[in-house]
């Protein structure tokens, strides 16, 4: 093949990759994520075959030496090193289905970057890429009414992130277009991207957008040669900043506070629940950093840090207490990849800034282009101080870095066609390379992507059978889905045993043999996952819950009951050791102790939890239920009272306890408010443990 055929194949492959943003295959596990990532992987792997043979055959087309590329390569090298040195290689390297951000998936964005800087060799090529990107964002926004503000991305944070790039790229085209028709078209695209961004309503992205636009405007005004433009632009920018300051200053006024704008401004206050939980999360990372300063705990393994230093005050803000990401790129990289990873990451930004400045000085890019790209990178960086990347933002930022590479490395002179067409391999060897490398890649694609898609689809089928009550075929369907040997089975296991944990009452409809088969199968899945990281708090908690379910359904079998409860106690202890501040674990432990007849230990366990956080209602509610079950009525009434005053309405499990507590405090005039609150709970259905 000639060089044009290779270039066109690579070029249109890069353009076509943006279609992945729109893919959602509903029959897959985590369809908003896996649908996009695995198809993107396949496309990049196919293009990799073409790219490797191309740069071997035509060495003049190989990417030029660049600090930017070296920084990106260093970042991926640090990430890979952390996978091997971290606490959970499987999670770090392969990732999970919910995020699909393991090293294996992320390295495909490196492939994207290398192919883009090789194939997109003219400004027209990059303009086309930007246009394709903008068409994609238009489709995302127009698809919003059907799927909510997250569109086909499944997460409003991802939507907000890509809309930042959409806004800047639309501005890029608007400011460069000479034709009035195209300007109007790009203005409409800009408005659409702002609509998508506004509807996503993510505070971190809003901060990024604002800082990025201010950076763009400030650079453009400062670097402008036109004095009049500097004065007018500076005045507008200053007025805009003053307006923002005034809005924040008076945001508590009724006029602003009761408006949609006021709601968005409130997201930047210390009353913001999300902000407070992230501050606690970042505190955990700071506490753990001295333990893993150089290489971190392993890429993607942030939950280990979060669990280890979990602060019970987290429950003051939300009951959702599982963070698998730091929601701050600097904190995330420093804690999971250490100083080495952080320096590599920062080197990318430094190199990008260096080449932007050189490109401006050498007049390879205009002031407007320099200001826009700089503002976009700043916006991306700032938004990631409160968020984390996804497939769509990774593609977007690597596209932007590729654009930076292009501007510095294009020289504006005619290409020496003879030199560019010099080859180092014969046509016969070229074909052999394509065939051999292609066959190897086909096996790779089949085993790591096609099988992954099949497995994710099969797991959903098994999940559906469990939901519909077709218990007889649950195990067979699930085993068939995961037997093909893909490395992504982590989530395919947890989705099934997690559903059993949350819906185990349905097992009571089965005969004992079938019930135990499903329980034992679920336990085997959880045990397999625990091998990845035996100290993982969440997996040990789930395993303890499954053992407890096994014990409940085998109460009449002394040997099995003893085995299950012993294993349950052992694994819940491991979970508590891994995350001592996670209070609900103590309730799980108390339940297990109660099953084993260790009543005093069960009460002591709940009192330990209460001592850690005295205003945590669930701990008092659990203690009240235990005390009432053990006929310690006086203690039960006091615990039930505290359960209610700390906001535990509806958490007490026994209506007999609720009624007895009402009678106990009926004559106490100081507790009538709580009595009324308890009375409202009497008519609710009984919740059985």
Least confidently predicted of 135-144, 333-342, 368-377, 679-688: 679-688
Q: What is the pLDDT of residues 538-569, one digit of tens each?
A: 999 999 999 999 999 999 999 999 999 999 99
Query: So what's the pLDDT on residue 145?
Result: 54
Q: What is the mean pLDDT of residues 151-164?
A: 94
Q: Give the tokens for residue 622.
A: 């659990």
Q: What CA–CA distance (Å, rounded) separates 510 from 494? A: 22
Alpha helices in 224-259 (DSSP H): 227-249, 254-257
Separation CA 44–CA 47 (nearest Å)? 5
pLDDT confidence of residue 7: 95
Closest alpha carbon to 449 in 405, 484, 398, 500: 484
Residue listed under structure tokens 């093909």: 484
| Count of CA atoms in the C-beta half-sphere (13 A) of 101 | 18
- Predicted confidence at residue 1, as pLDDT, reads 85
Q: Which of 464, 456, 445, 514 is nearest to 481 (CA)?
A: 456
Helix, strand and coil content of the chain, in percent to the nearest 5, comes to 75, 0, 25
DSSP 454-474: HHHHHHHHHHHHHHHT-GGGH
Give, in order, the Cα–Cα distances in Å from 29 to each of 33, 445, 458: 9, 19, 9
Q: Across residues 357-366, what is the average pLDDT?
A: 95
Q: What percent of the chain has pLDDT over 70?
A: 95
Burial status of residue 544 (CB atoms within 10 A of its CB: 0-12, 13-18, 19 or more): buried
Return the HEC string of 312-333: HHHHHCCCCCCCCCCCCHHHHH
Who contacts 384 (Cβ-Cβ below 8 Å, separation ≥6)? 204, 208, 328, 329
Cα–Cα distance measured from residue 550 to residue 87, given in angstroms and rounded to the nearest whole number: 29
Helix and strand counts by DSSP (H, E) for the chain = 32, 0
> How big is the CA angle at 382 (ends 381 and 388), to the nearest 5 degrees?
70
Rounded CA separation 390/388 (Å): 7
Task: Yes or no: say if 132 and 18 are a contact pair by the CB < 8 Å rule.
Answer: yes
Note if the pTM is more than 0.95.
no
Token digits for 169? 């790229």
Higher pLDDT, 359 or 234: 359
Residue scoring higher pLDDT (3 or 17): 17
Q: For residue range 251-295, what is the model confidence (pLDDT) as tens digits?
A: 777 777 777 776 666 666 667 788 889 999 999 999 999 999 999
pLDDT per position as a tens digit, 488-501: 899 889 988 888 89
Q: What is the pLDDT of residue 107?
A: 98
**What's the pLDDT tens digit per position in 173-216?**
999 998 999 999 999 999 999 999 999 989 899 999 999 999 99
- For 100: left if phi > 0, alpha if psi spans -120 to 50, otherwise beta; the answer is left
Contact 216, 369 (CB under 8 A): no
CB atoms within 10 A of CB 157: 20
Question: Exposed, middle or buried, 230 (CB in 10 Å: 0-12/13-18/19+)?
Answer: middle
Strands, E assignment, 368-465: none
pLDDT at residue number 238: 85
Instruction: Phi first, then psi: give them for residue 587, nearest 5 degrees.
Output: -65, -40
Structure token digits, residue 329: 């790129």
Dihedral of the CA atoms 197, 202, 207, 208 (nearest 10)?
-60
C-alpha–C-alpha distance, residues 528 and 489, integer Å: 10
Question: What gap in Å lies between CA 200 and CA 194, rounded to an integer?
Answer: 10
Burial of 227 (0-12, 13-18, 19+ CB in 10 A): exposed
Give the Cα separation of 135 and 159 in Å (integer). Answer: 15
> d(Cα 113, Cα 180) in Å, to the nearest integer?
33
Region 443-455: mean pLDDT is: 94
How far CA 344 is from CA of 70, 121, 400, in Å, comes to 9, 27, 18
Burial class of residue 33, CB neighbours in 10 A (0-12, 13-18, 19+): buried
pLDDT averaged over every residue in the chain = 90
| DSSP structure class, residue 121 | -
Residue-by-residue DSSP string for 282-320 = HHHHHHHGGGSTTT-S-TT-HHHHHHHT--GGGGGT-S-
The mean per-residue pLDDT over the stretch 221-229 comes to 82
């Amino acid at each position: 093949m000639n060089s044009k055929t290779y270039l066109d194949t690579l070029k249109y492959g890069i353009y076509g990759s943006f279609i992945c943003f729109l893919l959602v295959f509903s029959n897959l596990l985590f369809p908003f994520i896996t649908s996009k990532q695995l198809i993107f992987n396949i496309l990049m792997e196919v293009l990799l075959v073409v790219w490797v043979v191309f740069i071997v055959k035509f060495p003049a087309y190989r990417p030029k030496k660049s600090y930017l590329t070296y920084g990106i390569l260093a970042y991926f090298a640090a990430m890979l090193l952390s996978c091997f040195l971290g606490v959970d290689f499987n999670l770090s390297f392969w990732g999970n289905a919910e995020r699909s951000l393991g090293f294996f998936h992320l390295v495909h964005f490196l492939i994207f970057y290398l192919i883009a800087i090789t194939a997109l060799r003219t400004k027209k090529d990059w303009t086309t890429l930007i246009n394709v990107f903008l068409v994609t964002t238009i489709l995302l926004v127009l698809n919003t009414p059907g799927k909510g503000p997250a569109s086909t991305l499944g997460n409003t944070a991802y939507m907000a992130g890509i809309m930042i790039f959409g806004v800047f790229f639309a501005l890029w085209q608007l400011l460069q277009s000479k034709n009035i028709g195209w300007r109007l078209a790009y203005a409409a695209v800009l408005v659409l991207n702002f609509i998508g961004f506004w509807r996503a309503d993510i505070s971190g992205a809003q901060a990024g957008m604002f800082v990025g636009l201010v950076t763009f405007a400030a650079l453009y005004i400062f670097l402008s040669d036109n004095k009049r433009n500097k004065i007018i632009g500076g005045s507008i920018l200053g007025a805009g900043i003053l307006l923002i300051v005034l809005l924040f200053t008076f945001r508590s006024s009724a006029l602003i506070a009761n408006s949609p704008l006021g709601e968005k401004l409130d997201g930047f206050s210390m009353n913001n629940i999300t902000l407070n939980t992230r501050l606690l999360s970042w505190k955990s990372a700071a506490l753990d950093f001295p333990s893993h300063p150089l290489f971190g705990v392993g890429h993607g393994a942030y939950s280990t840090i979060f669990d280890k230093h979990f602060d019970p005050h987290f429950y003051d803000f939300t009951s959702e207490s599982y963070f698998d990401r730091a929601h701050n790129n600097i904190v995330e990289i420093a804690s999971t990849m250490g100083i080495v990873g952080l320096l590599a990451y920062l080197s990318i930004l430094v190199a990008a800034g260096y080449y932007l400045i050189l490109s401006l000085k050498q007049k390879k890019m205009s002031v407007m282009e320099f200001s826009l790209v700089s503002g976009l990178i700043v916006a991306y960086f700032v938004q990631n101080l409160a968020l984390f990347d996804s497939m769509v933002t990774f593609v977007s930022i690597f596209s932007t870095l590729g654009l930076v590479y292009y501007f510095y490395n294009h020289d504006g002179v005619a290409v020496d066609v003879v030199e560019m067409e010099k080859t180092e391999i014969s046509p016969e060897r070229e074909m052999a390379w394509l065939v051999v490398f292609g066959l190897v890649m086909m096996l790779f694609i089949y085993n790591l992507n096609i099988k992954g898609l099949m497995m994710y689809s099969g797991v959903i089928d098994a999940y559906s059978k469990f939901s519909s009550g077709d218990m007889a075929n649950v195990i067979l369907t699930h085993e068939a889905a995961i037997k093909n040997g893909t490395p992504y089975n982590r989530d395919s296991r947890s989705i099934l045993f997690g559903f059993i944990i949350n819906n185990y009452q349905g097992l009571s409809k089965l005969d004992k043999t079938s019930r135990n088969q499903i329980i034992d199968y679920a336990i085997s899945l959880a045990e397999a996952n625990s091998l990845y990281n035996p100290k993982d708090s969440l997996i040990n908690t789930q395993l303890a819950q499954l053992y407890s379910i096994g014990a409940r359904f085998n109460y009449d079998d002394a040997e099995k009951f003893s085995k299950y409860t012993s294993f349950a106690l052992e694994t819940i202890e491991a979970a508590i050791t891994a995350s001592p501040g996670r209070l609900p674990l103590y309730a799980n432990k108390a339940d297990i102790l109660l099953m084993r007849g260790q009543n005093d230990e069960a009460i002591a366990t709940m009192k330990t939890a209460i001592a850690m956080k005295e205003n945590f209602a669930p701990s008092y509610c659990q203690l009240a239920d235990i005390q009432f079950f053990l006929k310690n009525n006086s203690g039960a009434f006091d615990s039930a009272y505290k359960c209610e005053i700390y906001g535990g309405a509806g958490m007490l499990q026994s209506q007999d306890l609720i009624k007895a507590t009402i009678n106990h405090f009926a004559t106490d005039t100081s507790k009538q408010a709580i009595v009324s609150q308890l009375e409202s709970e009497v008519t609710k259905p009984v919740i059985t443990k």
